[in-house]
A and B are shown apart, each in its own frame.
Chain A
Amino acid sequence: EIVLTQSPGTLSLSPGERATLSCRASQSVSSSYLAWYQQKPGQAPRLLIYGASSRATGIPDRFSGSGSGTDFTLTISRLEPEDFAVYYCNKLTFGGGTKVEIK
């Protein structure tokens, strides 16, 4: 069973700053199956990135995904107020999440 470890647990940033979120897998993962989600309080998660680097429908281009093998990254180029949320990486199982909070 693949374990996904996300870091950092919490990221404190200001609007306009760049966010870099990490997801490390316990064994090599096919990029085709690595996804990222955003979740806001009281809401279901929303798919942001699939196939490690493809944006889902309607996702702004400030969100980008990269990586391969065991190391994957979600980057938000310039944080907007609505981007402060919890982010999960996923390959069937989920990472523990990274909370992006307002500094």
Chain B
Amino acid sequence: QLQLQESGSGLVKPSQTLSLTCAVSGGSISSGGYSWSWIRQPPGKGLEWIGYIYHSGSTYYNPSLKSRVTISVDRSKNQFSLKLSSVTAADTAVYYCARYKGAFDYWGQGTLVTVSS
């Protein structure tokens, strides 16, 4: 059974860079033609897709966040990562990682990141 687990700092200061990692177990991040994605959800609000990285390494980002987002993959550790720069309070959210191939079929449990000084 595929499992995804987010980790990273739960508290980030304004203007700094948010960094999260998603560890994948029960399957290889390099197999099957899947993409690996980040999605977030501000408290009490809906879901926002941030971007994904293909198994090949190419990336595709939400245009509204593109200038601040970097998603990368570490195949040796079977994990992928998110960096979001110049954060503000509006970036406070639960951040999920998920597998994508036409739909997001496996999700991590989510991790709350708060932006505050």
Which B residues between 69 and 112 are near A, CB-CB below 8 angstroms? 96, 102-105, 107-110
**How long is the Cα–Cα vector from A46 to B63 in the complex, in angstroms?**
25
Interface range on chain B (Cβ under 8 Å from partner)? 10 to 19
Whether, in the assembled complex, B62 has its beta carbon less than 8 Å from a beta carbon of chain A, the answer is yes
Q: Quick one: which of A1, A32, A45 contacts B47, CB cutoff 8 A?
A: A45
Is A84 an interface position by the 8 A CB rule? no
Contact B107 A94 (CB under 8 A): no
Q: Taking CB as reference atom, which chain A residue is nearest B4?
A: A44
Q: Whole-angstrom distance from the CB of B116 to the nearest CB of chain A?
A: 21
* Chain A residues whose C-beta falls within 8 Å of the C-beta of B104 in the assembled complex: 35, 37, 45, 47, 90
Compute how far the CA of A51 lies from the CA of B101 in the bound complex, rounded to whole angstroms: 10
Chain B positions within 8 Å of A56 at CB level: 103, 105
Q: What string of 1s and 0s marks CB contacts (under 8 Å) between A39-61 and chain B?
A: 10000111100110000100000
The size of the chain A interface, using a CB distance under 8 A, is 21
A50 touches B105 (CB 8 A): yes
Contact B102 A45 (CB under 8 A): no
Q: How far is the CA of A1 from the CA of B39 in the complex (A)?
A: 17
Other than the given A51-B103, A90-B103, 9 more pairs (CB < 8 A) read: A33-B103, A37-B104, A45-B104, A46-B107, A47-B105, A51-B102, A56-B103, A92-B49, A97-B46
